[in-house]
A and B are shown apart, each in its own frame.
Chain A
Amino acid sequence: MIHTPVSNSKSNPIMNAITLLTRSGSADLTPEEDAQLTRELAAAYHMDEAAASSRDVQRIAEKVRARLASPPADPSPSREG
């Protein structure tokens, strides 16, 4: 099966990193490829770390907690994707 990247991987560092990660075969990455992949993995890791201590995320978390404690009201979306 031929997979199509969600966006153009040649001009997109994140999708390029994903393409490198999922490239078939066990061939090692070139130093340039390894650097590109490492850069995107580190960016994702630091985004996650920042979220854990973010006041904005903590404020949203309080709203989620309050909403989960109250009963739901609206129907779920049902369109396929």
Chain B
Amino acid sequence: MGNDDRLKALFAYDEPPARDPAFSTAVMEELVRRRFLTDVAVLSGVSALGGTALWALWPSLQPVVVAVAQGLAPAIVAGALALGAAVVFSGRRPAALLGFET
């Protein structure tokens, strides 16, 4: 056995198995967990931003909302439902829909 073969044979003890479903699964689980946390962070940020904007603008918005609420309420509800359904059925993640990732 040549020197290089001898080294190779000794190094072979460090070799992990060619297929290791436990390792691959652990990687993908961690990846999904991090994506979930990203989604939660994005949605929390957007919600907080929207809530703050609404709170700041509410005094000036309130009269307008009250004035148009009677006539537009059904259309707004239908629009919100359609938007929600589009998000759900598109199958895309919120972070991707908002352009934070591909």
A interacts with B = no
